[in-house]
Amino acid sequence: MAHSHDMPTDLTRNQELVLGTLTASSGPLSAYDILDRLRTEGLRAPLQVYRALEKLVDRGLAHRLESLNAFVACADAHCHRKGLIAFAICEGCGKVDEFADAVIESRLGAWAHAEGFKVERTTMEIRGRCAQCLKAA
C-alpha cells in the first residue's frame, strides 16, 4: 500500500492539493501556510484554499482546530464524521493527537437533553505537552 491515507478519487484538483498538503505535514497548517505551499501549483488566493478546506471539513477528511486557527488532515481514514472528536495539541512539537471518547459524548448528550439544547457541532481541544516533549525537557 502506498500510504494509509487513501485519498478519495472524487476530489477536485484544489481539494486534492489542499488535502495532500495537510497529509504531508507533520502538524497543523493555517490556510495561509497551505496557500504558500501551493503557489508553485498555481494557487494564488486565500479563497481557493478556504473553499477547498470547507469541503474537506464537511466530508470529515480534514478538521479545523479552533484554538489554533489551523487545519489538519483527519488522522483516521475511516473516521468520517462518526461522533465527537477530541484533539490533544502539543505546544512543544505541534503534533496533534485525535481521539474519541464515547463516555464524554454521552455526558454531553445527557446535558444537552436535559437542557433541551440541540447540538450541531462540538469542539474539544486540549493544549499541553506530549509525553515525548516532556521527556526531552
Which residues contribute to the annotated binding site for Zn(2+)?
90, 93, 130, 133
Position 48 contacts DNA (CB under 7 A): yes
Q: Which stretch binds DNA (CB under 7 A): 27-35, 73-81, 85-93, 126-134?
A: 27-35
Eight-class DSSP state of 29: B
Smallest Cα–Cα separation from 35: which of 18, 58, 15, 55? 18
Which amino acids are annotated as binding site, given as ranges?
A: 90, 93, 105, 130, 133
The single residue among 23, 25, 27, 51 that binds DNA, judged by CB under 7 A, is 51
* Residues 55 and 15: beta-carbon distance below 8 Å: yes
Q: Which of a copy of itself, DNA, none binds 58 (CB below 5-8 Å, type-dependent)? A: none
Position 123 contacts DNA (CB under 7 A): no
Which residues contact residue 102 at a Cβ distance below 8 angstroms, ignoring those fewer than 6 apart? 83
Q: Indicate the residue among 6 and 115 with the shorter CB distance to a copy of itself.
A: 115
Smallest Cα–Cα separation from 63: which of 124, 127, 2, 131? 124
- Residues 57 and 64: their CA atoms lie apart, in Å, by 7
Position 43 contacts DNA (CB under 7 A): yes
Position 121 contacts DNA (CB under 7 A): no
Name the residues that contact DNA, by CB under 7 A: 12-15, 30-33, 42-48, 50-52, 55, 69-70
